[in-house]
């Protein structure tokens, strides 16, 4: 069955990640009558443009999933907890973008380029990783072909859309206030984000790391099937609208040549090497925005660690970090016959 023939619900369609899922479905030519846009009761009845037509938002509740084949959940953990299993009970294949199912051992956590086979053991739900983990594991998966990876130290530069629509509006509003000579007030973040940098993404834990930093460790291990991998992350929010960047230091069991690193990265699906510093060519959030690929550059030998490589990456957090990865999981599940759309279920 062609993916354009299935009924898709986007739960959280008025949000940053859900809105991008709709954009991608439009790019793919998915018919509007095969999409159900869902959000909270607050948005029920609201119209969302979908190309030349409008979708009417319906409230996300159990009954709304009748006739749906695939539901992309992007409405936060509470909504997934309340509705994902109820959707599965009705035969819906759920792809969840939030964090609540990611470390559940009964639910696969998938980046198709890395661990597509894991889709096959799904119990009705497949989870997608944090938007900083996704590009990182793609880079690590490519490079571990050269030598086993022992440790990774990463600092992130995360855009405000990673927090959702309200944070984007806050950055714009605070920027206007500051440029007009006023004093900006923080609402979404604990400090002003305009013209600032916050070494704080998600809540802090007892060991001094934040939950986001732990996600990068735990999710990378699960996706790469490597429980010994060490990832020490410092997650930082920056006043950028879209696309996350990461400065990554990777230590290998044996020495890795920079040219080999460039070669395996360039050959990896979904990765583009942009690396000619002499011509000012390297990834930036602006150049990654709107693109499906993870951009990697500044690839160099690490002078502080014997078998180390250092690199920089930028990746669109709303596309590969969220909506695109979810749609790729759907495509892969269809290709592998890993779920039955309702049209096929009813003919049994």
Ligand X SMILES: NC(=O)c1ccc[n+]([C@@H]2O[C@H](COP(=O)([O-])OP(=O)(O)OC[C@H]3O[C@@H](n4cnc5c(N)ncnc54)[C@H](OP(=O)(O)O)[C@@H]3O)[C@@H](O)[C@H]2O)c1
Which parts of this chain interact with ligand X (CB under 6 A)? 12-18, 39-40, 42-43, 60, 74-76, 79, 97-99, 131, 161-162, 164-166, 317-318, 321-322
In 3D space, the residue among 162, 165, 139 whose CA is nearest the CA of residue 152 turns out to be: 139
How far lies 63's CA from each of 35, 66, 344, in Å? 16, 6, 21
Closest distance of CB 334 from ligand X, Å: 22
Residue number of the CB atom closest to ligand X: 15
Q: Please, are residues 246 and 156 in contact by the beta-carbon 8 Å criterion?
A: yes
Among candidate residues 30, 122, 214, 244, the one labeled active-site is 244
Alpha-carbon separation of residue 129 from 229, 281, 326 (angstroms):
17, 28, 10
| Helices and strands in the chain, H and E counts | 10, 14
- How many Cα atoms are found within 13 Å in the side-chain-facing hemisphere of 286? 2
Q: How far apart are CA 124 and CA 149, in angstroms?
A: 32
Q: What's the min distance (Å) between Cβ of 345 and ligand X? A: 26
Catalytic (active site) residue 191: no
Query: What is the closest distance, in whole angstroms, from the C-beta atom of residue 229 to ligand X in the complex?
Result: 21
Whole-number minimum distance, CB 74 to ligand X, in Å?
A: 4
Give dist(CA 172, CA 30) in Å, integer.
32
> Nearer to ligand X by C-beta: 98 or 270?
98
Helix, strand, or coil (residue 154): strand
Strands 53-56 and 47-50: what pairing?
antiparallel
Laid out side by side, the sheet with 70-73 consists of: 58-59, 35-39, 8-11, 70-73, 93-96, 125-127
Closest to ligand X by CB, 11 vs 299, is: 11
Q: Which is nearer to ligand X, 99 or 314 (CB)?
A: 99
The Cα angle at residue 18 between residues 184 and 34, in degrees rounded to 5: 155
Respond yes or no: is residue 235 known to be catalytic: no
Q: Residue 292 CB, nearest distance to ligand X (Å)?
A: 15
Q: Which of 122, 131, 214, 235 is catalytic?
A: 131
Between 128 and 153, name the residue whose CB sits nearer to ligand X.
Answer: 128
Residues acting as catalytic residues: 131, 244
């Amino acid at each position: 069955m062609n993916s354009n023939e299935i009924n898709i619900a986007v739960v959280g369609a008025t949000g940053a990640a859900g809105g991008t899922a709709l954009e991608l479905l439009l790019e793919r030519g998915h018919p509007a009558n095969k999409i159900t846009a869902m959000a909270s009761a607050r948005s029920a009845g609201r119209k969302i443009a979908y190309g030349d037509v409008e979708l009417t938002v319906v409230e996300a509740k159990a009954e709304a999933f009748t006739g749906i084949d695939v539901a992309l959940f992007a409405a936060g953990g509470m909504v997934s907890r309340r509705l994902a299993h109820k959707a599965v009970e009705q035969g819906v294949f759920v792809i969840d973008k939030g964090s609540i199912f990611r470390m559940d051992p009964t639910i696969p956590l998938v980046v198709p380029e890395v661990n597509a086979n894991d889709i096959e053991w799904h119990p009705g739900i497949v989870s997608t990783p944090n938007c900083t983990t996704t590009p990182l594991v793609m880079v690590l998966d490519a490079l571990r072909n050269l030598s086993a990876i022992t440790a990774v130290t990463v600092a992130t530069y995360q855009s405000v859309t990673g927090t959702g629509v309200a944070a984007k509006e806050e950055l714009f509003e605070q920027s206007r206030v500051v440029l007009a000579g006023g004093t900006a007030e923080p609402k979404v973040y604990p400090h002003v984000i305009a013209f600032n940098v916050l070494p704080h993404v998600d809540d802090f834990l007892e060991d001094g790391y934040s939950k986001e930093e732990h996600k990068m460790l735990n999710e990378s291990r699960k996706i790469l099937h490597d429980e010994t991998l060490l990832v020490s992350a410092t997650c930082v929010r920056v006043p950028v609208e879209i696309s996350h960047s990461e400065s990554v230091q990777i230590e290998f069991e044996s020495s890795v040549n920079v040219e080999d690193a460039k070669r395996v990265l360039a050959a990896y699906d979904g990765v583009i090497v942009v690396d000619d510093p002499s011509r000012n060519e390297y990834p930036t959030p602006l150049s990654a925005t709107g693109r499906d690929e993870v951009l990697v550059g500044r690839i160099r030998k690490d002078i502080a660690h014997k078998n180390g490589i250092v690199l920089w990456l930028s990746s669109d957090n709303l596309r590969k970090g969220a909506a695109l990865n979810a749609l790729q999981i759907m495509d892969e599940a269809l290709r592998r016959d890993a779920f039955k759309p309702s049209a096929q279920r009813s003919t049994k």
